[in-house]
Structure 1
């Protein structure tokens, strides 16, 4: 027959479980009430590229090509910034 757990050990286990539940609830509450992170500034080059893509998408929609695939090819210099993050953040909601 197994030995019963002393009350003090049970108390510690219950206290630990209550504190974990309170921590999870507090974390959930803080995450739900926090403001969304501020948008990162987009460079002028990336903003122009996003505007070009938006214009092409609007043109395709006006022409009735809603299911068309829009592709862009640009040669990038080594000193130019990569706009892939800005493009992904801007168009991620369109999925």
Structure 2
């Protein structure tokens, strides 16, 4: 191909890219995700974890090691996603 053809193709691709960018920037932002409802059981469990964390910080044990939280009740809600969302800062 000749140099003119390459320059023409390059110019067309650049113009298409710029046009696509302008169109995407002009489009409205998507609606924010509705806040997920947390079951009462999970909310209670999260509050319990926060209480235990506060107690561990008071005692000075929160900075030294690992805190583990377990659930022993059978049939309890799986709150792992809610706990992750709550403590990861995605509130």
TM-score under structure 2 normalisation?
Answer: 0.67
Structure 1: runs of 5 or more not aligned: none
Cross-structure match for 1:3 = 2
TM-score (norm 1): 0.64
**Residue correspondences, number:** 88
Structure-2 change in CA distance of 1:66 and 1:73 (3 Å): closer
Partner residue, 1:88: 84
Q: What do residues 54-80 of structure 1 show as CA deviations (whole Å, max 9, x unaligned)?
A: 0001111112223132211213535x4
Q: 5+ unaligned residues in a row in structure 2: which ranges?
A: none
- Is residue 2:3 matched to residue 1:46? no
Give the superposition deviation at 1:35.
6.3
Q: 1: CA distance between counterparts of 2:26 and 2:42?
A: 36
RMSD, matched Cα: 3.2
Matched, 1:17 2:37: no
